[in-house]
Every structure is written in C-alpha cells, then in structure tokens.
Amino acid sequence: MARPTRPIEASDEIRAELLTRARSQRLESRHVQRAKVVLLSLEGKTLDEIMAASNLSRESVNQWRNRFRQHGLSGLNDLPRPGRRRTITAQQRARVVQLACSAPEGGYTSWSQRRIGKEVGISHGRVNAILAEASLKPHRIEHWCGKSPDPEFEAKMTEIIGLYMSPPANALVICVDEKTNIQALDRTQPVLPLKSGQPKRMTATYKRNGTVSLIAALAVHSGTITAKTMPSNNGENFLAFLKKLDRAHPGKHLHVIADNLSAHKSAPVMKWLARKRKVTLHFTPTYSSWLNQVEIWFNILSRDVLKGGVWTSTGQLTGQIMEFVKTYNNTRAAPFAWTYTGKPLVV
C-alpha cells in the first residue's frame, strides 16, 4: 500500500494562486512544477502519484511540500544563492571610462572590452554595461571633414561653388581626378553564384593580374563622364587628358576643377594653360577634395563595378570600366543634387 502523505492546508485564495501558477505559460518550468506539487498534495495524492505527475524525485517533492508548510507561497521561491555578487567600485567604473577614452600601449590602436576588463579586473560584460551607461562606443569610428589649413579656403570654395551654382555663359564646368592602382584580381577557384538561401561566394585567396589607373572628368551640369585608362599617373598623362577635353569641346570655356596633386601643377601643364585662354584650372582648397564632384562618381564606380569583381587581366578590367562609363552616360547621367543640411563650414 502507498505510504500516506502528511496533509497540507491552504486557503481558497492561495489555492487559486497555485492554480494560476500551475497553468501559466510565462513562468519558468521549475515554478510551474512546484505549484503542481502543492496542488496535488492538497488533492490528497500520494508521493508516488505526485512524483509521476510532476516528474520530480521523492526528495524534491518532499522539499517543496515542506517548504510550503513552513513558509506558504514564499517557500516556493528560490533561496538566495551563497555569496554576494561582486560589486563594481566607483574607481573601477572611472578606470573603464578612462581606458576607453585613451590610447592603448603595446602597439594596439584601440581598446577591446575584453582587454579593458582584464586591465581593470572585471568581466567584459560589466565593461560593456559601464560603457553603455556612459554612451561610449570604442569600436565605432566616424569620419568628418576637418577644417582646411588653406589660408585661401573661403575664396577657393566660393569660386568652385559659384561655378556649380551659377556657371558663366558659354562655360563648361568639369571635375577631374584620377583613381590609381585599381587591381585586376582573379580568384583561385570559380565564383559560386548567388542562389536561394546562399550568398555569392568566392575564395579568400586571389591572383593579382596587374593594376589599372583611371582618369575621369565629370561634366557637372549634365552628369556625363569622360574617362581614359592610363599606365601611370603623372603630369604628362594629365596634360594629354586636358588636351582631349579641349578638343572635345571647341568654342567652350572649360573650367576644370582638380585637387592639389603635383601632377596637376607640373611645369608642362602650367605652360600649356598659359597659352589657353579658354581653359581655366581651379584647385580645391587643401584637404578639401570633397568639393570635387567627380569623387561622388568614383564612389559609384567602386560600388557598382569594382567591389567583388573578378578579372583575369588588366585588359578585361579596362574593358568593363569603359563599358560601364558608356552605360552610365546612356542611362544614368544627371547632375548631382547637393543634400548637405548641416552647419555651414564658413560663417
């Protein structure tokens, strides 16, 4: 015969709470089990029946029955774990913030949360919480346009923006720059194409098949591109490109915007410009190549052509770039719309 269990008593209110816990879909399973043990005991079930219904051992069933007898519903809660959670001192918090905002030693460029934790003597999880409270994100880097040291910054910027916004009559505003050392990379294994549930895949190992340099000109008010590949970036090739632009637009006064690269200021270039009344070269201020709109197009080229490309030769790379230029001019060329809404750089 099954051994009878010691009776347990509970008020209707407590029975209702136990029933709510036993049916709960949100409570953790251990709390649901404990409530079921007490409810079955209140129904007069034997220990064996309670063990079978709750899937608990005899010792566990007796433990929660006895805890309920002694403490009621509070006896079904977890007991405090031994030991006290290690506290973080104000000095440790300050040290975490100080390290995150300082330059590390030992050749590192930035701090990781694990190295900060090791230095301070706390877990990297605690470091993460402290940095979050202080709104610090050492892993993030944002870039911004620094102030140009060029003493003529305002005059040069105003001149270039004036050409963009209100060009002279019979003028053609052209932005010119070079993109050098474009690598013709091939992969050591065939590229695996994109398919459902799987991204495009390529080997991390590659073969270099040479480099290509590109010089490009953006006609600001039409958006069209004139481009040419070249073996190297020097004053001779820059001058040849200027002459090509001059021949392509007879009768127009060319206003060419370029950065301060030495090739753009070489003696042959300056000598040729001195004889050309209808070609004017405008230099962007120091550290202000962002004023040159062709940089926007180079970003488009990198995103739509160069990123993830595979070429077996420089000739193949050159052909694809020039094909893209033709496609761009036929389908996408349009003036860029300036959308900067921040504070003015010059007040």
- Could you tell me which residue, 302 or 26, shows the higher pLDDT? 302
pLDDT digits (tens, 9 = 90+) for 220-251: 999 999 999 998 889 999 999 999 999 999 98
Q: What is the pLDDT of residue 347?
A: 47
Q: What is the pLDDT of residue 206?
A: 85
Q: What is the pLDDT of residue 92?
A: 92
Q: What is the pLDDT of residue 160?
A: 94
pLDDT average, residue stretch 255-266: 95
pLDDT digits (tens, 9 = 90+) for 35-93: 888 888 888 888 888 888 888 888 988 999 898 888 888 888 887 766 666 688 899 99
Q: What is the pLDDT of residue 247?
A: 94
Mean pLDDT (the chain) is 89
Q: What is the pLDDT of residue 200?
A: 84
pLDDT of 3 > 60? The answer is no
Q: What is the pLDDT of residue 49?
A: 87
- Could you tell me which residue, 42 or 295, shows the higher pLDDT? 295
DSSP, residue by residue, 228-268: EEESS-SHHHHHHHHHHHHHHSTT-EEEEEE---GGGG-HH
Confidence of residue 1 (pLDDT cuts 50, 70, 90): very low
Q: What is the pLDDT of residue 211?
A: 92
pLDDT digits (tens, 9 = 90+) for 140-149: 888 777 778 8
What share of the chain in percent tops pLDDT 70? 95
Please give the model's pTM, rounded to 2 decimal places. 0.66
Q: What is the pLDDT of residue 242?
A: 96
pLDDT digits (tens, 9 = 90+) for 20-36: 888 888 888 888 889 88
